[in-house]
Amino acid sequence: MEKILVTGATGQVGSELTIALRNNYGPENVFAADKRPALNELSPSGPFCLLDVRDASAINQVVDANNIDAIFHLAALLSAVAEQKPQQAWDVNMNGLLNVLETCRAHRCALFFPSSIAAFGPETPSMNTPQDTIQRPSTLYGITKVSGELLCDYYHHRFGVDARGLRYPGLISSKTLPGGGTTDYAVDIFYAALKSQHYDCFLRADTQLDMMYMPDAIDAAIHLMTADSKQLKHRNAFNVTAMSFTPQQLAAEIQKHIPEFTIAYIVDPLRQAIADSWPRHMNDSAAKAEWGWQAQFDLSAMVTDMLKKITLT
């Protein structure tokens, strides 16, 4: 990778991934793009352009003008938002991906596509979820992720596009607020603990889900894209995970640092139903075997680091 484009660069993953890529490859070589203006350190740290991934011509122009050879395609509507806006979610998540894949085919760009734990469904084994297993998600977001996995595989086998991807669990960031996901509670809870010492959780206390701290998520994406392609049997949609916990367990870990913190459970039926359809813990042995994946943060280390880094404004 020499010239990189990041779509959805102002989002939870994109804002941190863009900075990491600029640190690795040089600020002038990583082009951030989103349909929203860039804030904070994203725009001053390197080139930025407004871009709607539903506009195929605009994507081609950006790639052609800047000699892009790798795209990290992060633009998408997340799970809870997608349920509220299914037609828009399909348009952004699927038509946007198809436009990016066509650009990759035309310009011989490598592609990173993030899938999700949402790509699984109620019939999927919930514990130690295999890399290759039944995928029948019950959410629109999950349907777009399964479709995206298959589309990336198709473009690799049919057109030789170097498409690679991960199935992310819930992601936890100390820098960026979440944007409409079912696992958002695992970020919101820290701000509530520091501000008011109380949090009303929208999931049941015993809802166990896979999670990952953002530094590990960023490392996984870059590590996969720089891995030897000859070692990749799956190439796309690798299970990756770092920890698996419930809201109750997360609250208990926070209470070790903030003893007065309390939590209550006011369940949101929509997000609870989504969470109940997802696995509790994924098996990421394929990622470990094929490109050496290894998480650095467990629950205790993540909580300690989050509480140190979060700032309230």
The domain limits of the chain are 4-168+214-239, 171-210+242-282+296-309
Q: Which fold has domain 4-168+214-239?
A: Rossmann fold (3.40.50)
Q: Look at residue 282 and tell me whether its pLDDT is greater than 60.
A: yes
User: If you average pLDDT over residues 113-121, what whole number do you get?
Assistant: 94
Q: What mean pLDDT is predicted for residues 4-28?
A: 94
> Which of 220, 222, 221, 214 is closest to 186 using CA atoms?
214
- Residue 265 pairs with which residues in a beta bridge? 201
pLDDT tens sequence across 120-168: 999 999 999 999 999 999 999 999 999 999 999 999 999 999 999 999 9
Q: Band the pLDDT of 81: cuts 50, 70, 90.
A: confident
CA–CA gap between residue 280 and residue 301 (Å, rounded): 20
Which of 141, 168, 199, 213 is an active site residue?
Answer: 141
The whole-number average pLDDT for the span 177-184 is 76
Separation CA 285–CA 102 (nearest Å): 31
Nearest by Cα to 237 from 294, 287, 274, 171: 287
pLDDT in tens, 41-69: 676 778 999 999 999 999 999 999 999 99
Amino acid 179: pLDDT? 67
The answer to whether 104 and 161 are in contact (CB under 8 A) is yes
- Please give the pLDDT value at position 211: 95
Q: Give the angle 51-99-62 at the CA atoms, nearest 5°.
A: 40
CA distance 216 to 140: 27
Residue 111: strand, helix, or coil: strand
Is 265 marked active-site? no
Q: Evaluate if residue 90 carries a pLDDT over 60.
A: yes
* Class of the CATH domain delimited by 171-210+242-282+296-309: alpha beta
Lowest mean pLDDT among 168-182, 185-199, 284-298: 168-182
Stretch among 99-113, 211-225, 271-285 having the lowest mean pLDDT:
271-285
pLDDT score recorded for residue 296: 96
Tell me the pTM. 0.91
Confidence check: pLDDT of 313 > 80: no
- Residues 65 and 18: their CA atoms lie apart, in Å, by 19
Least-confidence region, from 15-19, 22-26, 79-83: 79-83
